Structure 1
Amino acid sequence: MTLFRPCIDLHQGKVKQIVGGSLNDTGAKENFISDYDAAYYANLYREHALTGGHVIALGKDPENKLEALSALRAYPNGLQYGGGVTVKNAADYLKAGASHVIVTSYLFENGEFSWDRLDQIKRETGTERLVLDLSCRRVGESWFIATDRWQTITSTEVNMENLVELANHCDEFLIHAADVEGLQAGIDEKLVTLLGQGCPIDVTYAGGARSLADLKRVHELSNGQVDLTIGSALDIFGGHGVTLDDCISWNTQQ
């Protein structure tokens, strides 16, 4: 069954919602900047027993790490962590309270997927605490993994063959549709359909969700095999499309 998965996105040391495709070295187009810190949201999710969410540090600002660590302390083993994860620090984030670490850019060298790096990080985390972030951008009628703040499109396609192969090496996939992330213009229905066609492990999709109806739509398109993260449209992030209470009720009914 499709479930709502919560998120905490950090940029420049603040909890924000941004337009994903706008993120670069100088900043990003911002939809929302919270007056609350990351620990506030972590406590909110813990109080409502929302599981499988993630805290993502966007960019290299050291304040991001401090905020992320405070969120992990507030909700130990309740949040996955992503953002600059490498073989050198993956175990540290797990010890700090992350249920899983989320990895993308580290797995690529010169735009090519590195199986050696995947093996290295698996030795630190085990497959059971590793999430592969296969966030992607559309190229024609296909999708390719995008790294470096979704600005570098790699040669690795998001297709069922690759999903099945990579599923042997991790516990879950996290997939942002970077072209629609933060736009509240609707989900990428073709991508969600692809992800629901037989991916053997849990998948969380993010990008474009704008209402409670999108949870139902993802459930229909994926046969209940894909979960959904809602960000900019959510009331706790300044949105007007859906409330957190609505999402909690949806999960309870599934």
Structure 2
Amino acid sequence: MMARKSVFRPCIDLHDGQVKQIVGGTLSDHDPKNLTTNFISSQPPKHFAELYKTHNLQGGHVIKLGPGNDLAAKEALGAWPGGLQIGGGITDANAQEWLDAGASKVIVTSYLFPGTKFSLERLQRISSIVTKDRLVVDVSCRRRGDKWLVAMNKWQDITDMEVCKESLDQLSQYCSEFLIHAADVEGLCQGIDMDLVRKLGEWVAIPTTYAGGAKDIEDLQTVSDLSGGRVDLTYGSSLDIFGGTLVKFADLVNRSKSVV
């Protein structure tokens, strides 16, 4: 039996209703002028959803970064019903609405951490509403010393949860996937957090997608090697369809087809 290899997972990041690529560490409610944007697309969200559908790129995610993105998100989901996950402001009250709008799964973060404190009760509640199979937990994080702590609210606030085997094992009882942005390197195109990817390969027991810093097509092989094929990779600002010059979307599509 051949060992699994990591694959490319596409994304659509929405900010103020537009498809953008943002340096993750600059998102702030307190200082919006500090926002650093690498790319603002002239194309609507559905353009990217249709592109991913054409190439049957499964497991992609739409992330709403702040308010004003609901219509754009629903446009993307409508272009490929059942083909994309949705995250950003997901709660027990609206999760089913987003599934009804065409999302394959909902991605939850901040709702699980009222006052930055993890709530198992909230996780159990939303999992019971949408079912484990249709729930993704976003454990995006920031590095603090030799540890990674889950970050919420557009990666601005650090929670009380450390990303480690114990926490991931607990979360995986109620969800079917993890999405993990390495917020400190998100949007910088300066390389992935190899230490985190290696650790995730040791810790995760369910499908996991890593995002942050990918800048070369060979990063896909690096992630596969470091994680033993347990972690997939998202490319953002380095990708030509998002204004980047380092990685060609067509090359990623061809690479993905070769490992299926």
TM-score range for the pair, normalised by the shorter chain length: over 0.9
Q: Offset of 1:123 from its aligned partner?
A: 1.8
Q: Which of the pair is proportionally richer in strand?
A: 1
Q: Offset of 1:162 from its aligned partner?
A: 1.0
Q: Deviations over 1:108-127 (max 9, x none)?
A: 11111001111111121100
TM value normalised by structure 2: 0.96
| Corresponding residue of 1:241 | 246
What is the aligned counterpart of 1:45 among 35, 52, 55? 52
Q: Is residue 2:145 matched to residue 1:135? A: no
Q: Is residue 2:175 matched to residue 1:173? A: no
In the superposition, relative to structure 1, how do residues 198 and 158 fare at CA in structure 2: closer, same or farther (>3 Å)? closer
CA distance in 1, matches of 2:247, 2:221: 13
Q: Deviations over 1:10-30 (max 9, x none)?
A: 001110000001001226210
- Please tell me the residue identity of whatever aligns with 1:13: G
Q: Which consecutive unaligned segments of at least 5 residues does structure 1 have? A: none
| Corresponding residue of 1:60 | 67
| Corresponding residue of 1:120 | 125
What is the aligned counterpart of 1:19 among 16, 23, 30? 23
Q: Offset of 1:199 from its aligned partner?
A: 1.2
| Corresponding residue of 2:207 | 202
What is the aligned counterpart of 2:255 among 241, 250, 254? 250
- Please tell me the residue identity of whatever aligns with 2:14: L
Query: Cα RMSD (Å) of the superposition?
Result: 0.8
| Corresponding residue of 2:222 | 217
What is the aligned counterpart of 2:160 among 143, 155, 162? 155
Q: Is residue 2:79 matched to residue 1:77? A: no
Q: Which consecutive unaligned segments of at least 5 residues does structure 2 have? A: none
Q: Offset of 1:92 from its aligned partner?
A: 0.3
CA distance in 1, matches of 2:46, 2:22: 19
Q: Offset of 1:198 from its aligned partner?
A: 4.0
- Please tell me the residue identity of whatever aligns with 2:129: E
Larger mean Cα displacement after TM superposition, 201-210 or 163-172: 163-172
CA distance in 2, matches of 1:250, 1:8: 20
Aligned positions, number = 252
- Please tell me the residue identity of whatever aligns with 2:19: V
Moved over 3 A (4+): none
CA distance in 1, matches of 2:238, 2:157: 26
CA distance in 2, matches of 1:111, 1:83: 16
- Please tell me the residue identity of whatever aligns with 2:67: K
TM value normalised by structure 1: 0.98
What is the aligned counterpart of 1:9 among 9, 13, 17? 13
